[in-house]
Amino acid sequence: MAYEHYRLSSVGLALSDALDELVAYGIISDEFIDRIMRQFDSSINSALANSVSSQMEFTGKLTSYRFSDDVWTLMFRDMQFRNGDDVVRVKNVKVVACGAVKAVLFPRVQ
């Protein structure tokens, strides 16, 4: 299972808009959109898991936490994010952490 929350990122929304436009012009079908979006979910999760190597430090006050359906939800207050010399302060932060699951949606046929 690939998580779908990256569909609301700027690249996910742009992909969705482009696909909607292709459906409006009759170039692709609704069923094909679903397949493309599932592949996007799998690809973005894989890319973030395997390609991102930067590190960031953060501190703050944990105000609440919850674990349900293999998903952690953490609420923080007065957060400070540090990446080298760059520091960003934020009043409230919600972190959603999902378990890593390797999914093969479209195996390659040779």
Q: Which two tokens stand for residue 79?
A: 């957060």
User: 46 Cβ partners below 8 Å, 6+ apart?
Assistant: none
- Mean pLDDT over 51-79 rounds to 90
- What is 5-51's CATH superfamily? Transcription factor IIA gamma subunit, alpha-helical domain (1.10.287.190)
Lowest mean pLDDT among 21-25, 47-51, 88-92: 47-51
Give the separation between CA 84 and CA 55, rounded to whole angstroms. 9
pTM of the model: 0.58
pLDDT in tens, 79-109: 999 988 899 999 999 998 877 655 444 444 4
In terms of C-beta distances under 8 Å and separation of at least 24 residues, what long-range contacts does 70-74 make, across chains too?
70/98, 70/99, 71/96, 71/97, 71/98, 71/99, 72/96, 72/97, 72/98
- What is 57-98's CATH superfamily? Transcription factor IIA (TFIIA), beta-barrel domain (2.30.18.10)
Give the separation between CA 19 and CA 30, rounded to whole angstroms. 9
Give the CB-side neighbour count of residue 97, counting CA atoms within 13 A.
8
3-state secondary structure of 78: strand
